[in-house]
Amino acid sequence: MHKIYFATGNAHKLREAKNILGDVGYEVEQLDCDYPELQADDLETISAYGARWCADKLDRDVMVDDSGIFIDALNGFPGPYSRYVEDHLGNQKVLKLMEGETNRKAVFRTVVGFCLPDGEPRTFTGEVVGTISLEERGTHGFGYDPIFLYEDQTFSELEDIKKNRVSHRGNAMRKFARWLELNLR
């Protein structure tokens, strides 16, 4: 089994990465690297910056992950600012912003950034289209999972195995794994 180093402090993301990449022959090891999060309007720029910063600082190949939820009725908000909005407003206030909206379409997007020391970062984007529910539902997952509906269930109502098969993070990590297979083995 090949090892991938993942710079994250998020235990939920780590568990999902281990499950997804483990299925295709990669062991994921968490790295303690509190990198500065670049403020930008797109996830690709943020992930590429984080991957390069960590790879250079730790002198090893590193993967990072940045995710966001982009809600149509809110003009793509919170997008790359999803973590900040989650920490300061939470799902209930996002639902309040959505009151009366008939267009509840949303896209969950993850960008995996990967970089070798002194290399150029590569990014792998995955997304899933769904809608924003009217209320929080479910006990699994984290973040916006309780309000993101996919085929009539929130991500928090899905077991990890099913969620990982369809999720934004799963899609991005499978693209990353395919690239690794072709380029680094």
Q: List all residues 6 or more positions away from 162 whose beta carbon is below 8 Å from its beta carbon.
A: none
Residue 31's nearest CA partner among 108, 115, 110, 111 is 115
pLDDT tens, position by position, 39-78: 888 999 999 999 999 999 999 999 999 999 999 999 999 9
Question: Domain 2-183: which CATH class?
Answer: alpha beta
Dihedral, CA of residue 125, residue 123, residue 90 and residue 5, to nearest 10: 120
Tokens of 169: 């993070």
Among the listed residues 65, 66, 145, 152, the single catalytic one is 66
Decide if pLDDT at 108 tops 90: yes
pLDDT score recorded for residue 47: 95
32 part of the active site: no
Q: Tell me the three state secondary structure of residue 32.
A: coil
The residue-averaged pLDDT of 20-26 equals 84
Say if residue 78 is preceded by a cis peptide, omega within 30 of 0. yes
Q: Is the pTM of this model over 0.85?
A: yes
